């Protein structure tokens, strides 16, 4: 992983010379500098083509009553992604991004499709409220799936990676991981996910408190195994792989942030390559963003996952890069 | 102007049936409903092609020391827009929008260009700190320029209009108009514009207080003449024309909002067609947004104008429309 401080500083210096008041492009000026630092050159190339990888996995914890949605929805959504008919597909088409669907741990059978990479490590996790979600070897294998997907995407031409996820019940392991890695309580990190009622929120908070108690003292990979999820482990690997391949990685909501916290804990060099696409309404998302020092580009009240918030931020990255190469300077006026 | 409440409600009902948790697309669900209301059909068409009209004018008030920038920059930027080398051009290319440059009141000569519509009503306003900025007939003429540009853009195929502006000194008349139309004081509405120092801020606040005192009791068009600007009058006409042509109008920062407040005061039917692209850092922008009941899509600390913040919001509009037609429903899962 290399981050070019010279490219970063050159971009800030160039922004001061462009035909506009200094600082008038606000957040996009720092973003452009970050893209120059990642690319190792100023002006940075416009980050394209863009790939959104949607990692799917199931969660045994659904048996504990943390979500009203049946587990079968995960597999149904995998088929919906493959058919190009989910929200993330529509948004990806809007911004010119490709969608890759990766089954890392879907429990329910679904019709095979050439649009789905089957990298299933196991048929969903065990119930993390009563024991480890998976074995350490399985967490490592799922992480490796994500790392390899990132490497393959960049080898195939992608110059910007976007995180996506699908997994009924996955805000529960995500909140547990974020709580464990930031030292927060179950009450701090537990949210309503897709929109659960007050009774279910009590149950979910209790499950997460149990998970946090078991998580004490574990290293990041151990945490993934004990209280994580297969798609979250893959996201951790994907973020790591994207950073090592030298491209910007756009982070979606609370699930992606859980994986990103693990990636960051394993390898501090990952962080300069991260761009937070949006602020999810989940409380654990804001806790993770603050821990990572990330200032999200969008705040639209989204809580869908799939990569929807991150993919919507892609044109902002591209615009931030583009002004650095296409604008006149004050000298030229 | 017609806004189709049935289309609006149909979109909300459709959102509840799409393959996602209810409400999980947050702000984009209301936006999609608004686009359906504007289009008069659900699902709404993706709003494209998109035109950004950049209205340029000069301001006699620069003689009173409200900005450090020389007036000649307005003409220089008109040529920069025409050459496609300003920030708004780069952003417009990113989102696939066209840029139209309209000289409504530039004071300094510049090389004629086929890329600039010359609709100059007068060579800049008079100094509004000592008397009326322009005559009522000139305000009406500038308004009409904007209204006609909007009508021509839509006749030429545009299905979404974005406001843009250029005019050294134009945050001063904008703040005065916003103060007058919302009942706020000079201290409330005066900001640092492109980044003025403390001494200049004192001068600017005093100038705006003088203007507000003279503005008392004037009707909206009278306000444009007394304390407004030529490009602001044109923006008021453009917003009105876009709404009457039945397309969404994406509003940029404080200059566009000043024109939009005038348009809204003249014709209450305009408001349902308005979409706030972003929240400018200028204090008067937030005051105008609150008065209009608009919730901006982006908040990136921009204070450049030109339409830069509004054009960056265009992919969000398009994504909000697109999900309504391209997503599977829960029944189909």
- Report residue B2's pLDDT band, with 50, 70 and 90 as the boundaries: confident
Find, in chain A, the residue whose alpha carbon is nearest to that of B94: A319
Buried b (16+ CB within 10 A) or exposed e, B130-165: eebbbeeebbbbbbbbbbbbbbbbbeeebbbbbbbb
Is the CB of A304 less than 8 angstroms away from the CB of B24? yes
Is the CB of B326 less than 8 angstroms away from the CB of A27? no
Question: From CA A282, how far away is CA A277, in angstroms rounded?
Answer: 14
CB A265 within 8 A of CB A210: no
Is the CB of A86 less than 8 angstroms away from the CB of B19? yes
pLDDT, one tens digit per residue, over B234-255 is 999 999 999 999 999 999 999 9
Is the CB of B300 less than 8 angstroms away from the CB of A73? no
Find, in chain B, the residue whose alpha carbon is nearest to that of A322: B90
Q: Which residues of chain A are within 8 Å of residue B304 when distances are taken between CB atoms?
A: 20-21, 24-25
CB neighbours of B106 closer than 8 A, spacing ≥ 6? B56, B57, B58, B74, B75, B78, B120, B123, B124
Three-class DSSP category at B71: coil
Find the CB nearest A73 among B80, B86, B333: B333
CB B83 within 8 A of CB B184: no
Just list the catalytic residues of B.
306
CB neighbours of A221 closer than 8 A, spacing ≥ 6? A136, A139, A140, A143, A262, A266
Mean per-residue pLDDT of chain B: 97
Q: For this structure, is A306 an active site residue?
A: yes
Residue B195: per-residue pLDDT: 87
Q: Out of A13, A29, A306, A332, which one is annotated catalytic?
A: A306
Residue A128 Cα, gap to closest chain B Cα (Å):
24
Residue B194: per-residue pLDDT: 86
Q: Report which of B235, B79, B61 is spatially closest to residue B133, judged by C-alpha positions.
A: B61
Is the CB of B301 less than 8 angstroms away from the CB of A27? yes
Phi, psi of A250, deg, nearest 5:
-95, 120
Is the CB of A322 less than 8 angstroms away from the CB of B195? no
Residue A282 Cα, gap to closest chain B Cα (Å):
11
Q: Which residues of chain B are within 8 Å of residue A95 when distances are taken between CB atoms?
A: 315, 319
Residue A71 Cα, gap to closest chain B Cα (Å):
13
pLDDT, one tens digit per residue, over B288-301 is 999 999 999 999 99
CB A22 within 8 A of CB B195: yes
Q: Which residues of chain A are within 8 Å of residue B90 when distances are taken between CB atoms?
A: 319, 322-323, 326-327
Buried b (16+ CB within 10 A) or exposed e, A298-313: bbbbbbbbbbbbbbbb
Question: Per the structure block, which two tokens stand in for A331?
Answer: 């000298």
Find the CB nearest A323 among B18, B90, B299: B90
Q: Report which of B221, B231, B225 is spatially closest to residue B117, judged by C-alpha positions.
A: B231
Going from the C-alpha of A211 to that of each of A66, B298, B325, the distances in angstroms are 13, 37, 41
Q: What percent of chain B has pLDDT over 70?
A: 100
Q: What is the distance in angstroms between the CA of the first residue and the CA of the last residue of chain A?
A: 39
Q: Which residues of chain B are within 8 Å of residue A25 when distances are taken between CB atoms?
A: 87, 302, 304, 308
Residue A311: per-residue pLDDT: 98
Q: Report which of A155, A142, A161 is spatially closest to residue A242, judged by C-alpha positions.
A: A161
Find, in chain A, the residue whose alpha carbon is nearest to that of B72: A333
Question: Per the structure block, which two tokens stand in for A135?
Answer: 């074995």
Residue A189: per-residue pLDDT: 98
pLDDT, mean of residues B158-172? 98
Question: From CA A185, how far away is CA A212, in angstroms rounded?
Answer: 8
Find, in chain A, the residue whose alpha carbon is nearest to that of B307: A25
Find the CB nearest B195 among A22, A316, A319: A22
Residue A219 Cα, gap to closest chain B Cα (Å):
33
Is the CB of A303 less than 8 angstroms away from the CB of B91? no
Q: Which residues of chain B are within 8 Å of residue A301 when distances are taken between CB atoms?
A: 26-27
Residue A195: per-residue pLDDT: 87
Question: Regarding predicted confidence, which is higher, A185 or B193?
Answer: A185
What's the per-residue H, E or C state across chain A? CCCCHHHHHHHHHHHHHECCCCCCCCHHHHHHHHHHHHHCCCCCCCCCCEEEEEEEECCHHHHHCCCCCCCHHHHHHHHHHHCCCCHHHHHHHHHCCEEEEEEEECCCCCCCCCCEEECCCCCCCCCCCCCCCCCHHHHHHHHHHHHHHHHHHHHCCCCEEEEEEECCCCHHHHHHHHHHHHCCCHHHHCCCCCCCCHHHHHHHHHHHHHHHHHHCCCCHHHHHHHHCCHHHHHHHHHHHHHHHCCCCEEECCHHHHHHHHHHHHHCHHHHHHEEECECCCCHHHHHHHHHHCCCCCECCCCCCCCCHHHHHCHHHHHHHHHHHHHCCEHHHC
Question: From CA B84, how far away is CA B100, in angstroms rounded?
Answer: 10
Is the CB of B19 less than 8 angstroms away from the CB of A77? yes
Q: Which residues of chain A are within 8 Å of residue B21 when distances are taken between CB atoms?
A: 69, 194-195, 303-304
Going from the C-alpha of B91 to that of each of A206, B52, B81, B239, B281, the distances in angstroms are 48, 10, 12, 21, 19
pLDDT in tens, chain A (333 residues): 789 999 999 999 999 999 999 999 999 999 999 999 999 999 999 999 999 999 999 999 999 999 999 999 999 999 999 999 999 999 999 999 999 999 999 999 999 999 999 999 999 999 999 999 999 999 999 999 999 999 999 999 999 999 999 999 999 999 999 999 999 999 999 999 988 999 999 999 999 999 999 999 999 999 999 999 999 999 999 999 999 999 999 999 999 999 999 999 999 999 999 999 999 999 999 999 999 999 999 999 999 999 999 999 999 999 999 999 999 999 998
Q: Which residues of chain B are within 8 Å of residue A85 when distances are taken between CB atoms?
A: 19, 326-328, 332
């Amino acid at each position: 992983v290399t981050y070019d401080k010279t490219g970063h500083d050159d971009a800030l210096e160039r922004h001061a010379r462009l035909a506009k008041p200094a600082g008038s492009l606000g957040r996009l000026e720092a973003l452009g500098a970050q893209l120059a630092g990642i690319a190792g050159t100023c002006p940075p190339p416009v980050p394209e083509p863009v790939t959104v990888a949607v990692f799917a996995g199931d969660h045994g914890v659904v048996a504990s009553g943390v979500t009203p949605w049946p587990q079968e929805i995960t597999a149904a959504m995998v088929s919906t992604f493959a058919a190009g008919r989910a929200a993330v597909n529509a948004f990806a088409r809007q911004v010119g991004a490709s969608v890759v669907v990766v089954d890392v741990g879907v429990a329910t059978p679904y019709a095979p499709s050439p649009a789905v990479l089957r990298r299933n490590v196991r048929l969903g996790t065990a119930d993390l409220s009563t024991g480890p979600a998976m074995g350490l070897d399985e967490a490592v294998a799922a992480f490796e799936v994500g790392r390899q997907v990132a490497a393959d995407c960049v080898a195939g031409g992608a110059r910007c990676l976007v995180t996506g996820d699908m997994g009924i019940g996955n805000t529960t392991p995500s909140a547990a991981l974020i709580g464990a890695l930031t030292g927060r309580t179950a009450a701090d990190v537990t949210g309503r996910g897709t929109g659960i009622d007050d009774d279910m929120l009590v149950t979910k908070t209790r499950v997460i408190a149990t998970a946090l108690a078991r998580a004490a003292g574990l290293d990041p990979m151990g945490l993934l195994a004990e209280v994580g999820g297969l798609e979250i482990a893959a996201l951790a690997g994907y973020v790591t792989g994207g950073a090592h391949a030298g491209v910007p990685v756009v982070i979606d909501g609370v699930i992606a942030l859980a994986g990103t916290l693990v990636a960051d804990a394993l390898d501090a060099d990952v962080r300069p390559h991260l761009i937070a696409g949006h602020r999810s309404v989940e409380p654990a998302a804001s806790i993770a963003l603050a821990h990572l020092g990330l200032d999200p580009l969008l705040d639209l009240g989204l809580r869908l996952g799939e990569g929807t918030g991150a993919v919507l931020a892609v044109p902002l990255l591209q615009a931030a890069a583009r002004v650095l190469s296409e604008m006149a300077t004050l000298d030229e006026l």
